[in-house]
């Protein structure tokens, strides 16, 4: 029998509705699981057990009077330590904010709370979400549940590891250059980078910045869609918020992809890919073809995304973190700020031209293809003590960003993209595949990911370790 904490969120909801379990029992099961495994994994960095049980009791009392709170009624959730949560310590992974307790929730937290989610704590992230390896000076490194000597990815690595090890059924994440997708790939879970504007932000410093988005993470595609149905939707605090209600993601996902036009790119135009990663992801096109999709291998040139991403990212770091004491920032954040201070008006103009041209070319590309299939990350999970990947398939990486081009080139496209479990290396390390669609076609991404998930069953493979 599957342990309660490893049921899907939708299965948990069915048990709650039928009153076969209570919200308190569900919260207690997850709190016990956190106690068992978090000491080794280090995914939950701030735990609010008493608050979780209080929320759960209130939900049970309400249900006894016939009140069902909402789509997430009774489901435990942990929020990324970049996501402001009222009354709960939120450090952003930085010693500068080690004692920070926000006074209000971010929009997605407000929506999840209102829908009945039970907050159990905060998940680990690198400082200010900088980098695809979750380690910081406040809490240390998060370890991969499938191999505790390996990285859980980042920057939503705490969320991915917590999901994979059964600490929570739902989590949020954020993604500028792959921070929802990379850790999902590394930890055999699902991460969706939505179209910018789907999940609105209320930033007072970078409200027009479209490279960074928030999105859902879960163990199954249906559970990710469930969370998306709650956190998505228009809000006037975001200048490019999409005027579509999140309920469009609430309907059932069908595994029928017959006739879907799939473009398969094994290397996104010549990027180096680790042989073990390449071997696993090479299975993906055959899975969709076996379901009746029309799969075509394509040669893409997304290289214009390189400079566009780096220029916009550098500008963002200088604008957002440039006023902080640089000597107290970690090396990755300080480097990004330094790069941002070098950005000129001519650089920004070039980035805009590159991104605009790429957008129009990919718009034409998606007239002929429904989805793009590609690797999420160019490598499998690497040793946890290693700061970042320095070489991919024998090719040296110039800096700590370069090994994630397969993810951050996609970020530049303004497109929705999901990481869904694809399989395992011979050493048992998870590898995800990336499903991308044209802007605003988030449901197409989820539908394709669901069909792939149901056909392979790879996402149901749980870590071998059981904790203490």
| Widest Cα–Cα separation across the chain | 63
The tokens for 358 are 């790429």
Query: To 5 degrees, how large is the angle CA 332–CA 410–CA 273?
Result: 75
- Rounded to 5 degrees, φ, ψ at 243 are -85, 65
Question: Which residue in the list 94, 132, 155, 222 is annotated as catalytic?
Answer: 155
Sheet with 417-424: strands ordered across: 44-47, 118-123, 76-80, 170-175, 213-218, 190-193, 417-424, 430-436, 371-375, 261-264, 294-297
Residue 332 lies in a domain: yes
Query: To 5 degrees, how large is the angle CA 76–CA 93–CA 380?
Result: 80
3-state secondary structure of 358: helix
For residue 205, count other CB atoms closer than 10 A to its CB.
Answer: 10
Give the DSSP letter string of 271-314. Answer: ----HHHHHHHTTHHHHHHHTT-EEEE-----THHHHHHHHHHH
- Per the DSSP assignment, residues forming a β-bridge with 77 are 119, 170
Specify the CATH number for the domain of residue 123.
3.90.1300.10
Cβ(240)–Cβ(349) below 8 Å: no
Cβ(366)–Cβ(164) below 8 Å: no
Q: How far is CA 239 from the centre of its chain?
A: 23
Residue 467 lies in a domain: no
Closest CA to 242 of 233, 251, 250: 233
Note the pLDDT of residue 309: 98
- Per the DSSP assignment, residues forming a β-bridge with 218 are 170, 190
Residue 419 is among the residues annotated as catalytic for this protein: no
Note the pLDDT of residue 1: 45
| Residue 235 belongs to domain spanning | 4-460
Residue identified by tokens 């209570």 is 22
Q: How far is CA 307 from the centre of its chain?
A: 23
DSSP label at 202? -
Residue 28 lies in a domain: yes
Question: Which residue in the list 22, 80, 174, 411 is annotated as catalytic?
Answer: 80
Residue 453 lies in a domain: yes
- Rounded to 5 degrees, φ, ψ at 77 are -145, 145
Residue 132 is among the residues annotated as catalytic for this protein: no
Residue 38 lies in a domain: yes
Residue 451 lies in a domain: yes
Residue 126 lies in a domain: yes
Cβ(71)–Cβ(116) below 8 Å: yes
Cβ(270)–Cβ(463) below 8 Å: no
Residue 229 lies in a domain: yes
**What is the mean pLDDT of each successive set of 10 residues along the chain, which is 468 residues long?**
89 98 98 98 98 98 98 98 98 98 97 98 98 98 98 98 98 98 98 98 93 98 98 96 97 95 97 98 98 97 98 98 97 98 98 98 98 98 98 97 98 98 98 98 98 98 87
The whole-angstrom separation of Cα 172 and Cα 183 is 12
Residue 155 is among the residues annotated as catalytic for this protein: yes
DSSP label at 95? G
Question: Which residue in the list 94, 132, 179, 406 is annotated as catalytic?
Answer: 179
Number of domains in the chain: 1
The tokens for 293 are 């999709």
Q: How far is CA 126 from the centre of its chain?
A: 14
Cβ(360)–Cβ(412) below 8 Å: no
C-alpha distance from residue 108 to each of 117, 121, 144, 216, 286 (Å): 11, 15, 26, 10, 37
Cβ(216)–Cβ(170) below 8 Å: yes
- Rounded to 5 degrees, φ, ψ at 168 are -150, 155
């Amino acid at each position: 029998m599957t342990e309660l904490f490893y049921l899907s969120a939708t299965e948990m909801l069915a048990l709650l509705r039928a009153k076969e379990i209570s919200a308190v029992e569900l919260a207690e099961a997850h709190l016990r699981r956190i106690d068992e495994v978090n000491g080794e994994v280090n995914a939950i960095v701030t735990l609010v057990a008493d608050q979780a049980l209080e929320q759960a009791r209130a939900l049970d009392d309400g249900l006894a009077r016939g009140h069902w709170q909402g789509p997430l009624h009774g489901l435990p959730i942990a929020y990324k330590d970049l996501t402001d949560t009222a009354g709960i310590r939120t450090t952003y992974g930085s010693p500068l904010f080690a004692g920070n307790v926000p006074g209000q929730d971010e929009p997605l937290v407000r929506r999840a709370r209102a829908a009945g989610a039970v907050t159990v704590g905060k998940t680990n992230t690198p400082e200010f979400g900088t980098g695809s390896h979750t380690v910081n000076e406040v809490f240390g490194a998060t370890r991969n549940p499938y191999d505790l000597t390996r990285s859980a990815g980042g920057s939503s690595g705490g969320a991915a590891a917590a999901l994979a090890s059964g600490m929570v059924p739902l989590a949020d994440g954020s993604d500028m250059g792959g921070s929802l997708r990379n850790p999902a790939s590394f930890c055999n879970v699902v991460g969706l980078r939505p179209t910018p504007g789907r999940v609105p932000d209320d930033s007072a410093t970078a409200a027009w910045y479209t490279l960074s988005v928030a999105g859902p993470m879960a163990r199954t595609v249906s559970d990710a869609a469930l969370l998306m149905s709650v956190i998505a939707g228009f809000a006037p605090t975001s200048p490019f918020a999409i005027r579509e209600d999140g309920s469009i993601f609430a309907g059932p996902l069908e595994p029928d992809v017959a006739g879907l036009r799939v473009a398969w790119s094994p290397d996104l135009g010549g990027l180096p890919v680790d042989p073990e990663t390449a071997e696993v992801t090479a299975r993906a096109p055959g899975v969709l073809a076996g379901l009746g999709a029309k799969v075509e291998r394509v040669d893409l040139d997304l290289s214009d995304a390189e400079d566009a991403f780096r220029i916009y990212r550098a500008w963002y770091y200088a604008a957002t973190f440039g006023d902080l004491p640089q000597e107290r920032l970690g090396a990755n954040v300080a480097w990004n700020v330094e790069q941002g201070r070098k950005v000129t008006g001519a650089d920004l103009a070039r980035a805009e031209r590159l991104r605009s041209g790429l957008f129009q070319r990919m718009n034409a590309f998606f007239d002929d293809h429904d989805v793009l299939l590609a690797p999420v990350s160019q490598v499998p999970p690497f040793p946890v003590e290693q700061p970042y990947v320095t070489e991919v398939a024998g090719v040296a990486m110039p800096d700590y960003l370069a090994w994630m081009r397969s993810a951050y080139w996609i970020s530049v496209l303004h497109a929705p993209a999901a990481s869904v479990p694809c399989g395992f290396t011979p050493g048992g390390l998870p590898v995800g595949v990336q499903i991308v669609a044209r802007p605003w076609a988030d449901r197409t991404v989820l539908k394709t990911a669901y069909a792939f998930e149901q056909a392979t069953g790879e996402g149901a493979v749980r870590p071998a370790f059981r904790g203490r």
